[in-house]
């Protein structure tokens, strides 16, 4: 209630509180299921977002995934890949699970060219690694879009 007694409603929204789900079907492979869960629920390094929000802010699209049968996990490792377009990187990002060490590798590619590969990424370092590789910080800047089609007002 305000000082003059007028009631009002206040809403507070916390960045990162709304879920951002990956556009992938429920994986059969437990390791891919864990990766999806980690990307959707682990915090981004900024402390405001989840890793999937970081991906949304990087313009992630064209998602693909490898969901192997349990017996094929070494020959065909589980992975999620997507394209991003930021000031830091434009191209394809792949997060691949490595069964031998129970770690991830993150690759950046443009076409067939490998640009960078981060190996031995622990699950709790996924956010920090992806932020370092693709997050340009533009999400922190307010963007205003002026819509055309406004009527010009005439004063008589």
Place of tokens 């999806």: 36
Domain of 55, in residue numbers: 30-138
Residue 89 inside a domain? The answer is yes
Residue 34 inside a domain? The answer is yes
CB distance 45 to 128 below 8 Å? yes
- Model pLDDT for residues 66-76, shown as the tens digit of each residue: 999 988 998 99
Residue 118 inside a domain? The answer is yes
Residue 1 inside a domain? The answer is no
Residues 131-142 have a mean pLDDT of 85
Residue 58 inside a domain? The answer is yes
Residue 144 inside a domain? The answer is no
pLDDT-based confidence at residue 29 (cuts at 50, 70, 90):
very high
Residue 67 inside a domain? The answer is yes
Residue 22 inside a domain? The answer is no
Domain count, the chain: 1
pTM above 0.85, yes or no: no
CB distance 22 to 33 below 8 Å? no
pLDDT-based confidence at residue 155 (cuts at 50, 70, 90):
low
Residue 103 three-state SS? strand
pLDDT-based confidence at residue 47 (cuts at 50, 70, 90):
confident
Q: Is pLDDT of 84 > 70? A: yes
């Amino acid at each position: 209630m305000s000082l003059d007694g007028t009631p009002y409603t206040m809403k507070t929204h916390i960045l990162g509180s709304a879920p951002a789900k990956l556009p992938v079907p429920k994986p059969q492979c437990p390791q891919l299921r864990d990766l999806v869960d980690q990307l959707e629920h682990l915090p981004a390094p900024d402390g405001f977002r989840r890793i999937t929000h970081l991906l949304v802010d990087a313009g992630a699209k064209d998602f693909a995934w490898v969901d192997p049968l349990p017996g094929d996990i070494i020959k065909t490792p589980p992975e999620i890949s997507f394209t991003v377009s930021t000031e830091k990187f434009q191209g394809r990002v792949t997060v691949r699970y490595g069964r031998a060490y129970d770690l991830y590798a993150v690759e950046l590619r443009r076409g067939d060219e490998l640009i960078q590969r981060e190996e031995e990424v622990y699950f709790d370092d996924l956010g920090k690694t992806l932020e370092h590789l693709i997050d340009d910080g533009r999400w922190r800047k307010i963007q205003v879009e002026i819509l055309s089609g406004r009527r010009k007002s005439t004063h008589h």
